Structure 1
Amino acid sequence: MKIAVIGGTGLIGSQVVEKLAAAGHEAVPHALSTGVDVLTGEGLAQAVAGAETVLNLTNSPTFDDASPAFFRTSMDNILAESSEAGVGHAVILSIVGVDLVPDLDYYRAKTLQEDILKAGPIPYSVVRATQFMEFMQPTLAMTTEGATVRLPSTPVQPIAARDVADAVAGVAAGAPLNGTLNIAGPDVLPLDELGRITLAAHPDGRAVVTDETAGMFAAAPDEALLAPPDARIAPTRYRDWLTWPQG
């Protein structure tokens, strides 16, 4: 099966391409670096030509109120070119609970992306993942002031990027779900506690202080970011992931 992986050079995309290729598929990565621009449409027609499935893993460069325009334009362009090329399956990666946090610009933008896909002309699949374990360090950095990290006690259920890539590759190689697969890690922890666990494993002089107003996840209602009952639970635990070589 030929699968066009738009955004195929990033954290998830590069692993998905590797996994699909190992399974015998022709997985072709596309990105700005390969001449494909999802905003202008440059290179898209060539990227999706002959593909049975188009997997869109591109992301907005910002998390603010500019993000909806990115997802609207990119989805419109990808779906138009994919439909013209006769693609039979369109897949995106989204976020568990994305429609439950309307106070976040980025979450509203990702909900818009899902809605555009569902209303489009191509059979589709949405994979919703919880927060990536790999994003914990950037999350800590966003709320660091000197030696203090301020984090809310919002419950989260982090998942390893490797487990996300496994799920996304499986969906991309299968029949359209015309629905959503939720995936999550096995551990449910308050975000502030997750920060303490992280810094205990990799101490750098910082300490976590609980602040229910700090950072973007403070806007999430209780349990909005946790796996729903029908979710597929991935195997990697956060404390085990912390022992892996990073970088």
Structure 2
Amino acid sequence: MKIAVIGGTGLIGSQVVADLNAAGHEAVPHSKSTGVDVVTGEGLDEAMAGADVVVNLTNSPTFDDASPTFFQTSMDNLLAAAGKNGVGHFVVLSIVGTDQVPELDYYRAKTLQENLLAAGPVPYSIVRATQFMEFIDAVMSWTADADTVRLPATPIQPIAAKDVAAAVAEVATGAPLNGIRNIAGPEIFALDELGRITLSHKGDDRTVVNDPTAGMFAVVKGDVLTDENAHLAATRYTDWLSLQG
């Protein structure tokens, strides 16, 4: 099976390509560095020529009110190229609960992306993932100073990037879902407690302060988690931490 992985050189994309090729498929990574631009449309026809499946892992360069324009433009271009080239399955990576947090520009933008895909001309699958373990440090940095890290107690069910990649690769090689698959890690933490676990592992003596107004996750509702039908990955957060050195 030939699979075009758009955004195939990033954190998830590079692992998706590796997983697919290891399974005997022909996965080809595409990105700006390979001459493919989803905003201008440059290189998309060439990238999708002969592809059975396209996996879109590109992301908006910002998380603000400019992000809907990125997803509108990129999806218009990607869907047009996929339809023109006879692609039989279009896979997108999204976020668990993205349609439940309209207060966030970025979540509204990801919902727009999902809706454009569902209304498009190509059979599709949406893989919704919870927060990546790899991004916890970045989440903490948004509301940190030299002495403290302020975090809300929002429930978080972190998943390792390698498990996200494996799930995307599995979906990409199956029949189109024409719907959504939720994936998550095996454990739920309050975000402030996850911050304490992370800092303790790193030997960082800063104090984590519970602040219900701090950061992007302050407006994420407590019930934006996976349901009983979600696919749970095996990697636990402390085990993942221990592998980071």
Q: TM-score range by the shorter chain?
A: over 0.9
* Distance (Å, rounded) in 1 between the aligned partners of 2:166 and 2:194: 24
* Structure 1 residue 146, shift from structure 2 partner: 2.2
Q: Give CA deviations for 1:130-189 in whole Å, capped at 9, x if unaligned.
A: 000000000111111222100000001000001000100000111101111000001101
SS at 1:242's partner residue? helix
Q: Give CA deviations for 1:74-125 in whole Å, capped at 9, x if unaligned.
A: 0010000010000000000000000011100000000000000000000000
* Structure 1 residue 204, shift from structure 2 partner: 2.6
* Distance (Å, rounded) in 1 between the aligned partners of 2:234 and 2:25: 25
Aligned-residue Cα RMSD (Å) equals: 0.7
Tell me which residue corresponds to 1:236. 235
SS at 2:209's partner residue? strand
* Structure 1 residue 230, shift from structure 2 partner: 0.8
Tell me which residue corresponds to 2:76. 76
SS at 2:242's partner residue? coil
Query: Partner amino acid for 1:235?
Result: A
Query: Partner amino acid for 2:233?
Result: A
Query: Partner amino acid for 1:69?
Result: T
* Distance (Å, rounded) in 2 between the aligned partners of 1:95 and 1:115: 13
Q: How does 1:119-158 map to 2 (within 5 A)?
A: 119-158=119-158
Q: Check if 1:171 corresponds to 2:171.
A: yes
* Structure 1 residue 228, shift from structure 2 partner: 1.4
* Distance (Å, rounded) in 2 between the aligned partners of 1:229 and 1:174: 22
Q: How does 1:53-202 map to 2 (within 5 A)?
A: 53-202=53-202
* Distance (Å, rounded) in 2 between the aligned partners of 1:172 and 1:143: 37
Query: Partner amino acid for 1:50?
Result: G
- Contact 1:156 1:223 (8 Å CA) reproduced: no
Tell me which residue corresponds to 1:204. 204
Tell me, which stretches of 5 or more residues in structure 2 are unaligned?
Answer: none
Tell me, which stretches of 5 or more residues in structure 1 are unaligned?
Answer: none
Query: Partner amino acid for 1:198?
Result: T
* Distance (Å, rounded) in 2 between the aligned partners of 1:207 and 1:48: 49
Between the aligned residues of both structures, percent identity stands at 68
- Contact 1:2 1:52 (8 Å CA) reproduced: yes
* Structure 1 residue 22, shift from structure 2 partner: 0.2
Tell me which residue corresponds to 1:42. 42
- Contact 1:186 1:234 (8 Å CA) reproduced: yes
* Distance (Å, rounded) in 1 between the aligned partners of 2:5 and 2:37: 13
Q: Check if 1:219 corresponds to 2:223.
A: no
SS at 2:208's partner residue? strand
Q: How high is the TM-score relative to the length of structure 2?
A: 0.99
SS at 2:14's partner residue? helix
